[in-house]
Structure 1
């Protein structure tokens, strides 16, 4: 399970709202081309979101704040949810994508720019992540927190560039 982001213009975001199939093709093309418009966090996505949340970061960078598709109010692993997800056009991976608006991206970029890798993990007990059942669940290894923190500079560059462009960001897990 890997975290992914795609920078899109406001016009592209509007098109994505109307046609997730088109957005999926754009996302895959940009990712396959290793474009500057795509960034990934590998399996560190949940740890990163946990650590940012722990610092009071209000914008859910990984899971996105806005939904393209409203999910049904059922248990995540239920047959009803699995049936719903099977009927969504195009395979985004683990459920439909979400997104951050240009305003949310700009706010996130400012807040991210203030952080250091040390800020992200200072005072964190890996057992906090174990108790919270944070993916990938290998927090007993001493280097795991540093592994998550090493993504921060790339995340800062990505969101900084998106903010400068006035871009929105599509978020998904695959």
Structure 2
């Protein structure tokens, strides 16, 4: 089973509602309508697919630990509660936490992450998806490092936009 990561902005009221009714997570994630708030702001979403664990490692140097706020892909925030097991995990971060995250990510350069990339270490740490040292025959030439760096740049832009709007953040891995 693939473990994919989606990040989605939420309003404060949506963040609170997800805590009260975790079963609303699936409909919330599947809602692709542009549901604006009273000011007409729409949600923002970023799908980083299987890159979440590689990014976690590049940002923190660990598989499951790290220093907040950079460990946000696997820790931190508040659990959305008892969601159905096949839905994975979901955590929400309030607006001040998102602002701190955006500022922390802004301070990291692509070159910093490039220096931290070591396929053998990622493989040894069992970083998902666990194919870091395999030479696969791919339809397209996909460089794992360049793919992670591309997602990182998108992550920087995404969190900056969410923070600028004063929104909260949902991190869902499932």
**Of 30, 34, 46, which aligns to 1:39?**
46
* 4+ aligned runs moved over 4 Å, structure 1: none
Matched pairs, number: 154
**Of 115, 130, 137, which aligns to 1:137?**
130
1:141 and 1:90 mapped to 2: Cα distance? 30
1:97-136 paired onto structure 2 within 5 Å: 97-136=90-129
Give unpaired runs (5+ residues) of structure 1: 71-87
2:156 corresponds to: 156
Q: Deviations over 1:15-46 (max 9, x none)?
A: 1111123343122113999x851111111110
Say whether the 8 Å CA contact 1:63–1:172 is kept in structure 2. no
Matched, 1:24 2:31: no
Q: Deviations over 1:32-70 (max 9, x none)?
A: 99x851111111110001111129652222124121227
C-alpha change, 1:173 and 1:140, in structure 2 (3 Å) is same
TM-score, length of structure 2 as denominator length: 0.77
Say whether the 8 Å CA contact 2:34–2:43 is kept in structure 1. no
Say whether the 8 Å CA contact 1:21–1:89 is kept in structure 2. yes
1:125 and 1:152 mapped to 2: Cα distance? 16
**Of 54, 68, 82, which aligns to 1:58?**
68
CA RMSD, Structure 1 to Structure 2 (Å) = 2.7
Say whether the 8 Å CA contact 1:64–1:99 is kept in structure 2. no
2:5 and 2:52 mapped to 1: Cα distance? 5
